[in-house]
Amino acid sequence: MARPPLTLDRLAERYGPHLNTAPPGGWDDESQRPAQKLVKTHCCFCGQQCGIQLKVRDNQVIGFEPWEDFPFNRGMLCPKGVRRYLQGNHPDRLLQPLLRADDGFRGATWDEALDFTARRLREVQERHGKDAVAVYGGASLTSEKSYLVGKFARVALGTRHVDYNGRLCMVSAGTAYKATFGVDRSPNPWSDIPKAQVVLVAGANVAECAPITTDYLWRMRDAGGKLILVDPRMTPISRNADLYLPVRPGTDVALFSGLLHVVLRDGLHDREFLADHTTGFDAVAAAVEAWDPRRTAELTGVPPEAIEKAARWFAEADRAIAMHARGIEHHSKGVENCLGLINLCLATGNIGREGAGCMMITGQGNGQGGREHGQKCDQLPGQRSISDPAAREHVARVWNVPAEQIPQAGYSAVEIMEAIHRGEIKALLSICFNPLVSLPDSAYTREALDKLEFFGVVDFFLSETAHHADVVLAGSLQEEEEGIVCSAEGRVIHIRQAVTPPADARNDWWIYVELARRLGQAERFPYREPREIFDELREASRGGPADYAGITYERIDQEQGLFWPCPSEDHPGTPRLFEGGRFFHDDGRAHMQVAEYRESGDPCDAEFPLFLTTGRVVSHYLSGTQTRRIGPLVAQYPEPRVELHPRLALQHGIASDDWVTVTTRRTVLTAQALVVRTIRPDTVFVPYHWPGERSANQLTHRTLDPRSKIPEFKVSACRIEKAASAPAWAVQSLPAGASQKAPARR
């Protein structure tokens, strides 16, 4: 039974989150002693992967200096990037392996912890079969580690169940782009954004989740371009939107169908491009026939005139870009939502040109690279399909195993948790993933974790999920390991090691190599450093859609990153895909797909009449394992708030700072209200970065998109009421330095 060995309070007392508020040695001491070196690397957080220089002294990261020569962000950083260095030298840092004991966790030697892990994984597989063990990876890992996690699962363990937390992020976009274009990557580099005459941003809180992209949008407007924003909330970039479409949650694809309807009705589509470079247009045209502006307006809540205007602006521009993120992708029709935008771009010929395209905004640090090289349940390295016999032969040769020994596709991340819950999967080895906070319906996730016969975690802080572990292997921070990642724009960049892991913590790659050795697979995991893993990854990717064969650490350094595909060392890389209308399918065409609207998996009714939508705030990152430990970022947004419109607030007698209870078909959450006119009156918003009773994912539901298997985080039916008193979590002691009440201004 993998239940937490101590009460949550006592675990928190020992392992945090505590707040780090100052660099090593404090503010005053640090001022006297300069850094010994500056290391050019990238931020550990989101998919923008901003260039940053880390200040290092005595093998500790003590601060940062902007890296103004790196072309993507030219020195710009968001508050997470500015304060990221405070995760180093942190009091909560795991400094040695931990084994579950009667009174909590006890320190162990690496031999003891690794022997135990390998033995337990083997025992479960011997008793219940190879597929009784599952492996979780994460999209904040370098590509070397992502590759290693996939290979470890399939070769060292021989299980088909390996998936990663990008399942909560990029899979709807990836599925839609693969189906239409034959490849899963944003087709345009970010430098195209200021060249566009119109940019439509759908379901992307750019200012808070991809802050540097704001500058690209503002420069587009400086050059005379127009910004169209599609969102149920007026996020900060709405202040300069030329047109704001306040879409009703869960109706995005209907809106995009309505836009395409107007384009086709008025003959604004690019007939020549469609005839020469696409298939499937007639079916798409027939499907949007019924979505006239009036019907579209009734469902989406966007006025018909605004639909007409947006469609005309987009279609009449020579160069238009559609950008999207989780706002349209976290749906049980997330793939359809993306297809709707893709169809709009293809129908107007906006693809494969400077300043024209359809761009997904990848969320996690290595959200792009982390899904390309084999920790995704249905893919092999190089973004190859695991069911493709030729791909299996190629990868089997690189791995030196018989092709038939490579397992077929396994369950996706949420499906793995469901298989654990029903007892089919008995053991889990997880890295870089905090499912107790990040998966929907957290009570269900907790029940599943409790049922595991063996649960191993690799992490640098004890996450809420790791409370349930039998063994915690103390791994490394991003700045402690060398490797590469691929940013949101498809640029492969170099993460330089700034410091070595402290005390008895170890590099993540070493942990997997040591486990493989103990599972009898030493000769297939002979790596002595990340570079050797990368060289094998390059071979494994050769010839695949995401071809890295021509990319080397040295070339990345010399050329400020390289865009894949890059099939040979004399190839310049590919910043923009689909130039000349050539797509990655065998026939060279884009395969347009019909995108039909359907109801959410958790529909509103009389009892639950409102939409709950979840998302992020600028000072936190994902499940908060890192940012909830960084004092200044916690001070900026200490606790979740329930955002609601004054009209809705008035109906319930709620004022800002009042305690509000949000109820869904799962359970309740009570948090303070933030009454703002910048959200639809039928919608409430709660950010999801917190655990336990503050977790928005207590409220969300497990309906998945049938193709991408992404959960529907962006729409749950709910009701609200004013709470009689503060909830238990607010009354209990909070971490030192955190205030009981969020600042009233936010």
Partner 1 sequence: MSEYGFFVDPSRCIGCESCVNACAECETHRGHSMIHLDFLDRRETIATVPMVCMHCDDPTCAQVCPADAIKKGEDGIVQSALKPRCIACSNCVLACPFGVPKVMVKQEQMMKCDMCYDRTSVGKRPMCATVCPSQALAYLPKDLIQIGRRETPVHSFRFGRQAVTTRVAVMAPVGRTEISLDVADYLWEQP
Question: Rule CB under 8 A: which residues touch partner 1?
Answer: 22, 27-28, 30-31, 63-64, 66, 68, 75-79, 81-83, 207-208, 211-212, 214-215, 218-219, 221-222, 234-240, 618-619, 632, 636, 646, 656, 674-678, 745-746
Q: Which is nearer to partner 1, 148 or 674 (CB)?
A: 674
625 token code pair: 């394992």
Judge contact between 662 and 590, C-beta under 8 A: no
In the complex, the smallest distance separating the C-beta of residue 159 from partner 1, rounded to whole angstroms, is 42
> Of 153, 353, 332, which is closest to residue 252 (Cα–Cα)?
332
Q: What is the 3-state secondary structure (H, E, C) of 399-435?
A: HCCCHHHCCCCCCCHHHHHHHHHCCCCCEEEEECCCH
For residues 343 and 256, give the distance between their C-alpha atoms in angstroms, rounded to a whole number.
9
> Of 159, 175, 155, which is closest to residue 540 (Cα–Cα)?
155
Q: Which amino acid is at 402?
A: P
Strand intervals (E) in 580-727: 590-591, 610-615, 641-644, 659-663, 668-675, 683-687, 716-722
Cα separations in angstroms, 186 against 321, 379, 459, 534: 11, 18, 30, 23
Largest CA distance in the chain: 72
Neighbours of 564 (CB within 10 A): 29
Q: Which is nearer to partner 1, 211 or 638 (CB)?
A: 211
For residues 623 and 418, give the distance between their C-alpha atoms in angstroms, rounded to a whole number.
20
C-alpha distance across the termini of the chain, in Å = 42
In the complex, the smallest distance separating the C-beta of residue 307 from partner 1, rounded to whole angstroms, is 24
Measured in whole angstroms, the distance separating CA 583 from the mean position of its chain's CA atoms is 26
Interior angle at CA 272, CA 270 and CA 273, nearest 5: 70
In the complex, the smallest distance separating the C-beta of residue 650 from partner 1, rounded to whole angstroms, is 12
Q: Which is nearer to partner 1, 429 or 644 (CB)?
A: 644
In the complex, the smallest distance separating the C-beta of residue 95 from partner 1, rounded to whole angstroms, is 26
Name the one residue in this structure whose structure tokens are 């940019």.
Answer: 199
Q: Which is nearer to partner 1, 27 or 404 (CB)?
A: 27
Q: Which is nearer to partner 1, 156 or 199 (CB)?
A: 199
Q: Which is nearer to partner 1, 156 or 679 (CB)?
A: 679
Phi/psi region, residue 653 (left: phi>0; alpha: psi -120 to 50; beta: rest), is left
Any bridge partners for residue 459, and if so which? 474
> Of 408, 410, 432, 409, which is closest to residue 419 (Cα–Cα)?
410
In the complex, the smallest distance separating the C-beta of residue 431 from partner 1, rounded to whole angstroms, is 29
In the complex, the smallest distance separating the C-beta of residue 237 from partner 1, rounded to whole angstroms, is 7
Q: Which is nearer to partner 1, 160 or 226 (CB)?
A: 226
Q: Which is nearer to partner 1, 27 or 725 (CB)?
A: 27
In the complex, the smallest distance separating the C-beta of residue 49 from partner 1, rounded to whole angstroms, is 14
DSSP string for residues in 519-578: TT-GGG---SSHHHHHHHHHHHHTTSSS--TT--HHHHHHHT-EESP--STT----SSSS
In the complex, the smallest distance separating the C-beta of residue 28 from partner 1, rounded to whole angstroms, is 7
In the complex, the smallest distance separating the C-beta of residue 399 from partner 1, rounded to whole angstroms, is 42
In the complex, the smallest distance separating the C-beta of residue 203 from partner 1, rounded to whole angstroms, is 17
Q: Which is nearer to partner 1, 64 or 454 (CB)?
A: 64
In the complex, the smallest distance separating the C-beta of residue 33 from partner 1, rounded to whole angstroms, is 12
Q: Which is nearer to partner 1, 195 or 538 (CB)?
A: 195
In the complex, the smallest distance separating the C-beta of residue 50 from partner 1, rounded to whole angstroms, is 9
Q: What is the 3-state secondary structure (H, E, C) of 352-382?
A: CECCEEEEECCCCCCCCHHHCCCCCCCEECC
Q: Which is nearer to partner 1, 5 or 81 (CB)?
A: 81
Q: Helix (H, G, I), strand (E, B), or coil: what is residue 57?
A: strand
> Of 127, 105, 705, which is closest to residue 456 (Cα–Cα)?
105
Type and span of the H or E element at 697: none
Q: Which is nearer to partner 1, 211 or 530 (CB)?
A: 211
